[in-house]
Amino acid sequence: MTFVNTIFTSRLLSFRRPQNISPTADHVTREQLVTSRLGRFAQIPASEIFALEPTWSPLGLTEEAAAEILKQHGQNIPVAERPLAALSTLWTALWNPFNVLLTVLACVNIATQDVATFVVMMVMVVASTGLRYWQEMKSMVQALKLVRSIVTRVRVVRRVNGISQELEVDQKLIVPGDVIAVASGDVFPGDCVLISSEALAIAQASLTGELMPIDKTIRLVAASESDAFHLLNNDNVCLSGTSASAGNGRAIVISTGKDTYMAGIAEELNRKRPENAIQVGIRKVSYVLMGFMAVMAPIVFIVQGAVSHDWKGAIMFAIAIAVGITPEMLPMIVTSNLALSAVRIARKNVIVKRFDAIQNLGAVKVLCSDKTGTLTVDLVSVSKSVTDSGEDSGLPIKLAYINSLLQTGTRSPIDRAIVDYMHANEKGSVAGDGHQDSWQKHGEVPFDSTRRLLSILVSRLSTDGEGLFITKGAVEEVLERCTSVYRQQQRSFSASSSDFKLERTAYTTLTEDDRRAILDTSKRLNEEGLRLVAVACKCATVKQFMTINTADEEDLVFIGFVSFLDPLKPDAADAIKELSKLNVQVRILTGDAPAVAGKVARDLGLLDTRNVILKSKKADEEAVGAISEADLIVTGPQLAELSKDQDAFAEAVERAVIFAKLSPYQKLEVVKALRAGDGGRAVAFLGDGVNDALAIRGADVGISVDSGTEIAKEAADVILLEKSLGVVALGVVQGRITLLNTVKYIKMACSSNFGNVFSVLVASAWLPYQPMLPLQLLVQNLLYDFSQGSIPWDNVDPEYLETPRTWSALSIIRFMICLGPFSSPFDIVVFCINWFYYGIRTANSPLVPLAQTNWFLEGSLTQLFIIQFLRTGKTPFIQSRASLPVVLVTFGMACVSMAIPYIPKVSSALQMRPPHPEFYAYLVGIIAAYACVVHMVKVLYQMTFKEWL
């Protein structure tokens, strides 16, 4: 090997891995692996690519080489179809702490011949398991949706019998090393690097959110070692699933099948979904209840058995206590709450795919949203037409309209926007002045990505020999070909003006100062988030059979700019304000440019320091005030650098409002970081593209829109059928109502059960008989649960809807411990009445059923009445009223409780007897005193802990 060859080989090897990726990193993400593989070929000149792989050739692979590579890499299928793991999914759905608890208790009940309780508990388990199983099975097929979006036939260059030929083959047979030919409309079958390009533009909005096609060209010189390689922000890489919107070219396929960037997204979607905030909360609460039951049931068994010496009866009583502690109606309450909320928001054309997503919406503290198609309408439209100094003028749009209307090449989104804008504003003379029939085209120089210009020569039908040469294109390229600038008169040129004559007296020589001023105007407009097209023209003589070429694009007169934007959805700003009132922070995560995203955020009022969340708890108003607007914007490359320092990364994520130029994986990482911040918070993500699918699935609540890609809608928990962001705010409110009503149940049930356990412990240590039979305790618990079945229809005080809510095991434990024991003194009062007033002091006393009935009534009525006090932090009946269903159901259950001792067959089965009339006087006093005590405790509790529900 010669010295020159040695240098050349070492030069190539230095590009095997992009500079910003460490080869010794312990954990390399899928995105980094794809970046490393493509960077090896993308950072060197196109002419040197084939030197890296000896079997590759610009003339194409041989059939034998292609077959061998196909054996090695497999078919070009992004997601391999594999059998659905139905049994493992079923096991995952079944293995839930609450399901296990109910199943164990159900088995104990059937062993003791309590069939009714067994059936109720198993129905709850089956319903909960079935719903979760259906959800998991559906999510497993999400990734397969990507396969449908890939092209099936591809033009590939292959060597057949030593002759290079262009063939059309099934995309499944494309292999790394294949040279493919692409033209407008073709989809790239794998991750590719360009080796030739003729005005090639690529549409990659599904991956980056960039509305406009991106110009792509080949690399002519090697990248320097300091140049970082960005997978989604480069000139010569075309990823699988993106398409050519204009031009043509050839590319070398680097990765196919499961090794592509798109397949990495599909693989990530196929993984087990992380627990959301509500699931974590429910799991913690379930563990608390299980632990509480595991401690209290044995204590009751030992105390009751030691006092009564009836160990068999003590076992039954301990089982009844275990069942009583468990809020077995929780699945029904949760399901009813979710179903009711789903019906309510379904009326607003919102599909809820996962029921628990409604509760998660109520817990959301941060809403992350993609920009294109969610906050904006996903359509290029004309913003304004201005002069070289930025003043409004109709002349640039008029000339651009003639250019776009008469050009015969592929009409770009820019051309369509100009034509649509002018047609929408046609009035009187516009149709006659700018209509195609009023102008005749004599020549055209088509657009290409090198010149970035499009020029036409036109003349009016009514004129002879006088023509107009109109050029539009990129600002720098147009300005470079101009020698004059058109200074408009005091009267602004109107787009509808029939007088279309350019005054030569308005021409002034274009000086260097003028050029700098024009570029400054361009920069200022770009910083406002506007995309610009420059317009220039010159008078020309039209001759028969004449032609024009690029040499004619000189000595032009600079006219001005036409600016474009993707306008906001009409209700976006109002929806953002409504979310702000609900204390939901909004963040924009997009693959688009920072200036464009900043324009959207500015118009929505998001670039406000009040939206800042600092990671440090020491943050104060002074620290927030020191943050500038620039500090609220962070880009994907900046995050990539910060990822080396986790604290710095977390700080940037907490501070930023706009995340621009993000890859799909970076969107997911930002969502994960936001979820982990502040000790764990609920995060929602709103998006509609393939690039959003990972973040949608990684969020606590994934939201998509009806116009989104199939994969985004499959990954989402909620789909908006109407493009109205206002329903997101409505969903947040409904989610909080659902969550609060569920928390009402769990807190009331747990505190009541906890108080009953204290009462039972006192009774077990004091009374020689069971204070209540196991069957009586279960009936009482069932009546209480039925009364709480109306909770989903209850009203919620408005102030509780102002902040995000989630399940908190600590809050439930605190509520249970602080409120539960206050029912026990009143239970003890009943024990004392039975002991001292009625003289029931032995297990053989014939009045034992009376004592049990007295406690049954007192426990049932106090539990039912106290619902009115526990459901709100305010004064019941005066400051806050329960809904009519709650009032009717609780009153009905109270009547049933009082009627049971008087129904012969029922009272006989439950071994009860009617209470003495004077007991009702005691009962009224007990209930009134209990209500007063609970209300005082409630006031002190809220003063101490600053919360109630």
**What secondary structure does DSSP assign to 866-906, as a single string?**
HHHHHT-SS-BTTTB---HHHHHHHHHHHHHHHHGGGSHHH
Q: If you average pLDDT over residues 482-492, what whole number do you get?
A: 73
Asked if residue 543 has pLDDT above 60, the reply is yes
Alpha helix ranges (H) inside 381-502: 395-406, 413-424, 429-434, 475-480
Q: What is the pLDDT of residue 616?
A: 42
H or E element at residue 312: helix 311-325
Two structure tokens written together for 236: 């010569």
Q: What is the pLDDT of residue 332?
A: 66
Sign of the C-alpha dihedral, residues 196, 202, 206, 212? positive
Q: How many other C-beta atoms lie within 10 A of the C-beta of residue 268? A: 19
Tell me which residue of 551, 524, 552 sits closest to 537, measured CA to CA.
552
pLDDT (tens digit per residue) in 865-892: 888 888 888 888 888 888 998 899 989 9
Q: If you average pLDDT over residues 40-63, what whole number do you get?
A: 89
The one-letter amino acid code at 552 reads: D
CB 184, CB 247: distance < 8 Å? yes
Q: How far is CA 864 from the centre of its chain?
A: 41
Asked if residue 83 has pLDDT above 80, the reply is no
pLDDT (tens digit per residue) in 262-273: 888 777 777 766
- 897 compared with 268, residue with greater pLDDT: 897
CB 819, CB 870: distance < 8 Å? yes
Sort strands 718-720 and 701-705 into parallel, antiparallel or unpaired. parallel
Asked if residue 77 has pLDDT above 90, the reply is no
Share of the chain above pLDDT 90, in %: 17
Q: What one-character DSSP code corresponds to residue 376?
A: B
Share of the chain above pLDDT 70, in %: 81
Q: What one-character DSSP code corresponds to residue 259?
A: G
Asked if residue 912 has pLDDT above 70, the reply is yes
DSSP 82-114: ----HHHHHHHHH--HHHHHHHHHHHHHHHTT-
Query: Cβ neighbours of residue 545 under 8 Å, at least 6 residues apart?
Result: none
H or E element at residue 161: none
pLDDT (tens digit per residue) in 838-872: 888 888 888 999 999 998 999 889 888 888 888 88
Tell me which residue of 387, 401, 434 sits closest to 561, measured CA to CA.
387
Of the chain, the end-to-end C-alpha distance in Å amounts to 79
Query: Cβ neighbours of residue 87 under 8 Å, at least 6 residues apart?
Result: none
pLDDT-derived band at 1 (thresholds 50, 70, 90) equals very low
pLDDT (tens digit per residue) in 167-185: 988 888 999 999 999 987 7
Sign of the C-alpha dihedral, residues 352, 357, 359, 365? negative
Percent helix / strand / coil, the chain, rounded to 5? 50, 15, 30
Q: How far is CA 919 from the centre of its chain?
A: 59
Tell me which residue of 739, 750, 751, 753 sits closest to 791, measured CA to CA.
739
CB 510, CB 485: distance < 8 Å? yes
Two structure tokens written together for 625: 């005030």
Q: What are phi and psi of 199, to 5 degrees?
A: 55, 40
**What integer best gives the mean pLDDT of the chain?**
79
Q: How many other C-beta atoms lie within 10 A of the C-beta of residue 122? A: 16
Asked if residue 613 has pLDDT above 80, the reply is no
pLDDT-derived band at 138 (thresholds 50, 70, 90) equals low
Three-class secondary structure of residue 392 per DSSP: strand
Asked if residue 194 has pLDDT above 90, the reply is yes
Burial group, residue 1, by CB count within 10 angstroms (0-12, 13-18, 19+): exposed
Lowest mean pLDDT among 16-30, 526-540, 802-816: 16-30
* Rounded distance between C-alpha atoms, residue 635 and residue 656, angstroms: 10
* Rounded distance between C-alpha atoms, residue 143 and residue 139, angstroms: 8
Q: What one-character DSSP code corresponds to residue 779?
A: H
pLDDT (tens digit per residue) in 691-722: 788 888 889 888 888 777 777 887 888 888 77
Sort strands 153-160 and 61-62 into parallel, antiparallel or unpaired. parallel
Burial group, residue 148, by CB count within 10 angstroms (0-12, 13-18, 19+): exposed
Q: If you average pLDDT over residues 808-814, what whole number do you get?
A: 82
Tell me which residue of 251, 273, 233, 30 sits closest to 136, measured CA to CA.
273
Two structure tokens written together for 828: 């003890």
Q: What one-character DSSP code corresponds to residue 786?
A: H
Length of the chain: 949
The one-letter amino acid code at 372 reads: T
pLDDT-derived band at 328 (thresholds 50, 70, 90) equals low
Q: What is the pLDDT of residue 9?
A: 35
Please give the model's pTM, rounded to 2 decimal places. 0.72
- What distance separates the 2 farthest-apart alpha carbons in the chain? 125
Q: What are phi and psi of 545, to 5 degrees?
A: 65, 15
Helix and strand numbers (H, E) in the chain are 34, 24
pLDDT-derived band at 131 (thresholds 50, 70, 90) equals low
Query: Cβ neighbours of residue 642 under 8 Å, at least 6 residues apart?
Result: 648, 649, 652
* Rounded distance between C-alpha atoms, residue 867 and residue 273, angstroms: 37
**Angle, CA 99 vertex, CA 93 and CA 103 arms, to 5°:** 125
Three-class secondary structure of residue 252 per DSSP: strand
Tell me which residue of 725, 588, 675 sits closest to 363, measured CA to CA.
675
CB 366, CB 579: distance < 8 Å? no
Sign of the C-alpha dihedral, residues 512, 514, 515, 521? positive
Two structure tokens written together for 461: 């039908």
Q: What one-character DSSP code corresponds to residue 690?
A: G
Sort strands 163-170 and 153-160 into parallel, antiparallel or unpaired. antiparallel
Q: If you average pLDDT over residues 251-280, what whole number do you get?
A: 79
Two structure tokens written together for 51: 């030197």
CB 66, CB 161: distance < 8 Å? no
pLDDT-derived band at 211 (thresholds 50, 70, 90) equals low
Asked if residue 428 has pLDDT above 60, the reply is no
Query: Cβ neighbours of residue 173 under 8 Å, at least 6 residues apart?
Result: 66, 70, 75, 76
- 598 compared with 14, residue with greater pLDDT: 598
Instruction: Please confirm, yes or no, whether 370 is among the known catalytic residues.
Output: yes
pLDDT (tens digit per residue) in 643-677: 878 888 888 888 888 998 888 888 888 999 998 88
- 152 compared with 340, residue with greater pLDDT: 340
**Angle, CA 824 vertex, CA 820 and CA 830 arms, to 5°:** 150
pLDDT (tens digit per residue) in 289-317: 777 777 777 877 887 777 767 777 777 76
Residue given tokens 């539009």 in the structure block: 472
pLDDT (tens digit per residue) in 733-767: 888 888 888 888 888 877 877 787 778 778 877 88
Q: Which of 114, 178, 186, 370 is catalytic?
A: 370
- 252 compared with 763, residue with greater pLDDT: 252
Query: Cβ neighbours of residue 922 under 8 Å, at least 6 residues apart?
Result: 829, 830, 833
Q: How many other C-beta atoms lie within 10 A of the C-beta of residue 435? A: 15
Q: What are phi and psi of 265, to 5 degrees?
A: -65, -45
* Rounded distance between C-alpha atoms, residue 235 and residue 896, angstroms: 77
pLDDT-derived band at 489 (thresholds 50, 70, 90) equals low
